[in-house]
Amino acid sequence: MYQLARPALFAMDAESAHRFTLGALRRAPWLLSAFPEAGEDPVEVMGLRFRNRLGLAAGLDKNAECIDAWTRLGFGLIEIGTVTPKPQPGNPRPRMFRLPEHGAIINRLGFNNAGLDVVLDNIRGSDRGGARLGINLGKNAVTPAEHALDDYREGMQRAYELADYLTVNISSPNTVGLRDLQAGQARDALLRGLADCREMLAQQHGRRVPVAIKIAPDLEPDEVRTLGDAVVNVGFEALIATNTTIHRDAVAGHRYAGEAGGLSGDPVREPSTRLLRLLREHLGSACALIGVGGVMRPEHAVEKLRAGADLVQIYTGFIYAGPALVARSVDVMRQAGFTQVKP
Ligand SMILES: Cc1cc2nc3c(=O)[nH]c(=O)nc-3n(C[C@H](O)[C@H](O)[C@H](O)COP(=O)(O)O)c2cc1C
């Protein structure tokens, strides 16, 4: 079915196709019931039980418009966002490009989103079914780097009660200075501030919501190890590896290769999996790992598990292979028979 719809969607520019699809799924979530629903393959990660290990990566449903549709595909986890405290338009269009020859996308959307008020309302009005819901938090473009903590703290405080887990996104290449929060004093101050905030919220709510830090594939091995240690030391539960890459070697010569932004899909799989493996080797079982980047076929999801992932997310593979990738990946991961790495 998706093979029939795809040519029509791919005839539109990438962002229009995305908007069109989300609009259709918001009005008619049952459209996705035409695809097989992923089976159960329960796993416990970050202290939470997930019905299976496959998730929708952040960015596909930034505003939580289609949760009712995603649940019909049987995702184990659905990550909403990135959401910023205030609504913001993002960068000027065009800002999203398909590179079908490479199974890739370049985007520089820049956290276009409806803001916390609307996104949290959308979540309240939706049915997450058996899926776990992650809320991915960012900072507004106008917030100076030295006040980044304020934006993340506001996101954490307001999203806390609705989230099964929270993601702190410090790895988008499309917000100036954001990735600098992955290193040095800026990182340490941010992590400490958020760890204190989470402690306070855990007391208030009587529930400890796990926190994941989402990182870039373009870090050097030493930076990855130091960042991993810092996340474990403040007591956060998971790392999400990885966001998009700013490198273009894999798509050199393509007419869109010179477009600014983050590259996702096939070309990011290897660097992303390498970083995931490094984290697992370095951290052992001290932290849960969510593998994302270049899962275009079910076997790629198994590769992520082999490299040390506890859970796997998809974005670009979903655009190219369609909704059937979800159930097939869960099947193939189940058949691969992974014993769980207990965080
Ligand atoms: C168009 C687009 C928008 C994205 N927006 C976000 C976002 O808002 N927040 C985020 O954490 N990641 C975002 N991502 C990154 C994905 O969640 C994922 O980490 C990355 O694309 C690698 O996975 P993939 O190769 O399966 O796409 C976005 C990716 C794409 C392609």
Classify residue 117: in a domain, yes or no: yes
Number of domains in the chain: 1
Domain that holds residue 53: 2-336
Classify residue 342: in a domain, yes or no: no
Tell which one of 80, 264, 312 to mutate to probe ligand 1, the residue whose CB is within 8 A of the most ligand atoms: 264
What CATH number does the domain containing 160 carry?
3.20.20.70
* Residue 339: band (very low, low, confident or very high) from pLDDT cuts 50, 70, 90: low
The residue with tokens 């986890």 is: 77
Regarding pTM above 0.85, the answer is yes
pLDDT of residue 340: 57
Task: Tell whether ligand 1 has an atom less than 6 A from the beta carbon of residue 173.
Answer: no
The question of whether 172 is a catalytic residue gets the answer: yes
Give the active site residue among 171, 172, 272, 329. Answer: 172
Look at ligand 1, atom 15, and give the residue with the nearest C-alpha. 243
Task: Tell whether ligand 1 has an atom less than 6 A from the beta carbon of residue 113.
Answer: no
Classify residue 343: in a domain, yes or no: no
Q: Which of 172 and 124 is assigned the larger pLDDT? A: 124
Distance CA 104, CA 14 (A): 12
pLDDT in tens, 292-333: 999 999 999 999 999 999 999 999 999 999 999 999 999 999
Classify residue 341: in a domain, yes or no: no
Q: Which of 2 and 69 is assigned the larger pLDDT? A: 69
Look at ligand 1, atom 11, and give the residue with the nearest C-alpha. 58
Task: Tell whether ligand 1 has an atom less than 6 A from the beta carbon of residue 261.
Answer: no
What's at 174, amino acid-wise?
N
Q: Check: CB of residue 231 under 8 Å from CB of residue 213.
A: yes
pLDDT in tens, 208-233: 999 999 999 999 999 999 999 999 99
Classify residue 98: in a domain, yes or no: yes
Residues 6+ apart with CB under 8 A from 272: 217, 241, 242, 245, 291, 292, 293, 294
Task: Tell whether ligand 1 has an atom less than 6 A from the beta carbon of residue 29.
Answer: no
Q: Check: CB of residue 118 under 8 Å from CB of residue 85.
A: no
Classify residue 132: in a domain, yes or no: yes
